[in-house]
Amino acid sequence: MRRSIWVVASLVFALAVGATPVLAAPPTNDDPSGATVVADPLPYSNPTNVTEATTGADDQPQCDGHPADTNTVWYTYTASADQRLVARASGLDDNSLYVIEGSPAGSLLGCQSHGSQVVFDAADGTTYYFEIGATFGAVGDGTVTFSLDVAPPPLEVDIRIDPTGSVNNKTGVASISGTVTCNQDAFAFVYGDLRQNIGRVFTVRGWFGTEMSCSTEPTDWSATITPESGKFAAGKATASANIEAYNGIEGAFDTASGSIRLGR
């Protein structure tokens, strides 16, 4: 409301003194027809002030179930090779990013709000459009930065469980271990459970979880498992382990399970 009052007052003053009022113009890439062209070589990064940006008929209707974005701007890139790319948008209080193939009205390859990062496979000679908008109108200071870069290969992970573990006969607490491997550096969360049948009807069970780094070399993980009820004992048990890893671009998951033998 204060902005509207200020604009009206400025117009009245300008007319009173005979001056021609000058209104702020939207950015040049406000519409797809004026989309900023991304040139090779990558990586590419460019900030744009979207305070005066508008919306248009070519804008995507929504992302992640949110209402249509406001203050949208556009970029375009024609791939010079078959390659995996990652597009990012950041800077507004909250923004959405859309990746569209062929034309502004072409196939939507992906979108993301609250973080605005999309990984996609680009084909040589194909043109892609990128729409960035303020989610829920959260423009903030008005500057959004768009970047485009070659993405690493898809993240792959592997988790394994060692066939033997140990147990403290006095406390019933068990220890198990294994290895994790990723095809690139990543942050990982390893979690799972240990189960052991005692007699015919009673099962002792406990859970574990640990955070760690993961790389191309097998990395050891270990867990101390306190039983939920009862005590673990020396002998056969069943373990399951899962890994959720993230490399800053995407996540990956793997799971393993099997029989292990707990020793004293």
Say how many residues make up the chain. 264
16 — pLDDT class (breaks 50, 70, 90): very low
User: Mean pLDDT throughout 228-244?
Assistant: 96
Cis ω on the peptide bond leading into residue 104 (within 30° of 0)? no
CATH class assigned to 26-150? mainly beta
Q: What is the pLDDT of residue 12?
A: 43
What residue has token string 């029989």?
A: 259
Please give the structure tokens belonging to residue 71. 């203050």
pLDDT at 13 over 70: no
pLDDT for position 199:
81
Which residues are within 8 A (CB) of 125 and not within 5 positions of it... i.e. 6 or more apart? Answer: 78, 79
| Distance (Å, whole) CA 102 – CA 201 | 62
User: Can you give the pLDDT at residue 167?
Assistant: 97
CATH 3.40.630 fits domain 157-259:
no
Q: What is the mean pLDDT of residues 62-72?
A: 90
pLDDT above 90 coverage of the chain, percent: 83
Percent pLDDT > 70 in the chain is: 91
Which is more confident, 24 or 38?
38
Domain ranges of the chain: 26-150, 157-259
Return the HEC string of 155-211: CCEEEEECCEEEECCCCCCEEEEEEEEECCCEEEEEEEEEEEEECCCEEEEEEEEEE
* 71-116 pLDDT tens trace: 999 999 999 999 999 999 999 999 999 999 999 999 999 999 987 8
Mean pLDDT of 208-221: 97
- Which of 15-29, 178-192, 200-214, 225-239 is predicted least confidently? 15-29
Q: Tokens for 50?
A: 């979207």
Overall average pLDDT of the 21-48 stretch: 91
Question: The pTM is what?
Answer: 0.77
23 pLDDT band, cuts 50/70/90, is low
Starting at the edge strand found earlier in the chain, the sheet holding 117-122 runs: 44-49, 143-150, 83-90, 117-122
Q: What is the pLDDT of residues 110-157, one digit of tens each?
A: 999 987 899 999 999 999 999 999 999 999 999 999 999 999 999 999
